[in-house]
Amino acid sequence: MPAKPSVKPSVKLPERVLNSDIIKKYLLTGLLIWVPLGITLWVLALVVGLMDQTLMLLPDALHPRVWLGVHIPGLGVILTLAVLLGTGVLAANYFGAWLFKAGDWVLSRIPLFKIVYNSVKQVSDTLLSSSGKAFTRSVLVPYPHPGVWALGFVTGTPPPSLLENLNDQGPLVSVYVPTSPSPASGYVIMVPEKLLRPSGLSVDEALKYIVSLGVVTPSDDVLDQPIKKDLHS
C-alpha cells in the first residue's frame, strides 16, 4: 500500500503572545521606560547645545575646534561655568560691585531697553537671589469660581494703587495660579486672604503635583505633617 503523505503539524503561537492585552501591556511598559529617559536626554542635549554657543565668544585662534582639530560637545558648559564663576568673583569685590552697579544704572535708562531689562532683572533677583522668595507658600484658592479649588502660590501683597478700589474686600494677597503641566504660565489674581486655605504642601511638592497633572502625589511623610492653619506662618 502506498504510504500516506505525512502532514506536518501547523505551528501555533502561544495564545499568550497573541493576546492583544499582553502586547499593549508590554508596549506601555516600554513607553514608561523610554519616554522620561528620552525627554531627559533631549532637555540635557538642548541645554548643552545652548551653552556650547558661548564658544562663539572666543577668537578663532582660541577656539577648541582649531587646536583640538575636532568639535567636542559640552565644552561650552565648562566655558559657561567659568564665565559665571568669574563674574561672581568680580562682583564680590569693591571695584567689581561698583562696575556692575554703574552698568546697571546705564542699562536701566536706555529707552525701550530699560522696560525689558528692569522687568527681567526684578524677576531674576526674586527667583535667584538667596534672600529672595518668589513663592512664600502654597495655598488653596477658590478659582476659577467658588466651589472649585486650585493650587496657587502667594507672591506678596498687591501695590497700593490697586488696593485703592478694593478697600471693601479686606486684606488682599497676590496669588499666582499656574497652569498644568507648565507652571511657567498662569494667572496672577488678587484674593481676600480670608478665602485662602493652607494646602499642607511645600512649594516644591505643590509644583510636582501641578507638573505631573495631579498624578504624582506628595510623599507620605509630607501628608503626615500637620496642616498649618495660620497663613502668616
pLDDT single digits (tens) 111-164: 888 888 887 777 776 666 555 556 778 999 999 888 899 999 998 888 888 888
- Spell out the residues 6+ positions from residue 117 whose beta carbon is closer than 8 angstroms to its own: 107, 108, 110
Task: Specify the higher pLDDT residue, 36 or 126.
Answer: 36
- Spell out the residues 6+ positions from residue 66 whose beta carbon is closer than 8 angstroms to its own: 60
User: For residue range 162-173, what is the model confidence (pLDDT) as tens digits?
Assistant: 888 887 788 888
Q: What cell was used for 232?
A: 502668616
Q: Is the peptide bond before 181 cis (omega within 30 degrees of 0)?
A: yes
User: What mean pLDDT do residues 206-210 have?
Assistant: 87
Which of these, 176, 182, 228, 180, lies nearest to 202 by C-alpha position? 228
Backbone angles phi, psi at 227, to 5 degrees: -80, 130
User: For residue range 56-96, what is the model confidence (pLDDT) as tens digits?
Assistant: 777 777 777 777 777 777 777 888 888 888 888 888 888 88
Give the three-state DSSP class for 78: helix
Which pTM value belongs to this model? 0.54
Extract the runs of DSSP E, i.e. beta strands, from 61-185.
137-142, 149-156, 172-178
Q: How far is CA 75 from the centre of its chain?
A: 25
Q: What cell was used for 36?
A: 522620561
Identify the top-confidence range among 28-37, 55-64, 187-196.
Answer: 187-196
- Spell out the residues 6+ positions from residue 67 whose beta carbon is closer than 8 angstroms to its own: none
pLDDT at res. 219: 64
